[in-house]
Amino acid sequence: MTAESDLRTLLRDLRPELHPGRYVFATAPDGVVPAGAAPIVTVGEAEGLTLVLPEPEAVAAGLSHSFPAGWITLRVHSALDAVGLTAAVSLALTDAGISCNVVAGFHHDHLFVPHGRAAEAVTVLKALAAESGAG
């Protein structure tokens, strides 16, 4: 599959997918992922290793955590150098009053939104895709 960089095509083909469960942000100050934890995302920072992982795993590992989130994957294969996708998605969610943390993977973009508003965020993104496919 070839990565897409045309913004109109990216938006038209978003295909947002909501994963089941609650995900949280935590820090492993020693830079080590705790046994039994399988983070979705890791980011090395000076203060420690940031983990985004299922909430039950954070609790079981005794990690302090915050921002219970829903995890949405945009199924369109976006090019890493595509211009405007994050801005367009962020604007649509901003207009709906939904906060969003975006993580780019090699093939897809992943959004972490407030867990209680995740289904609404998917609806907003599907509307964005439908609007982008018109005309």
When pLDDT is averaged across residues 8-14 and rounded to a whole number, the result is 96
* Contact call for residues 125 and 74 (beta carbons, < 8 A): yes
Q: Which amino acid type is present at position 96?
A: A
What are the pLDDT digits (tens) for 73-130?
999 999 999 999 999 999 999 999 999 999 999 999 999 999 999 999 999 999 999 9
When pLDDT is averaged across residues 17-44 and rounded to a whole number, the result is 95
| pTM value surpassing 0.75 | yes
Tell me which of 132 and 133 has the higher pLDDT. Answer: 132
Sign of CA dihedral 96, 101, 21, 75: positive
Q: Which amino acid type is present at position 39?
A: P
Q: Calculate the average pLDDT of the chain.
A: 95
Question: Strand 16-18 vs strand 48-54: parallel, antiparallel, or unpaired?
Answer: unpaired
Q: All domains of the chain, ordered by start, with CATH? A: 7-133 (3.30.2130.10)
CA distance 72 to 49: 22
CA distance 62 to 45: 20
**pLDDT of the residue at 134:** 60
Q: Which amino acid type is present at position 57?
A: E
CA distance 85 to 6: 9
CA distance 70 to 100: 10
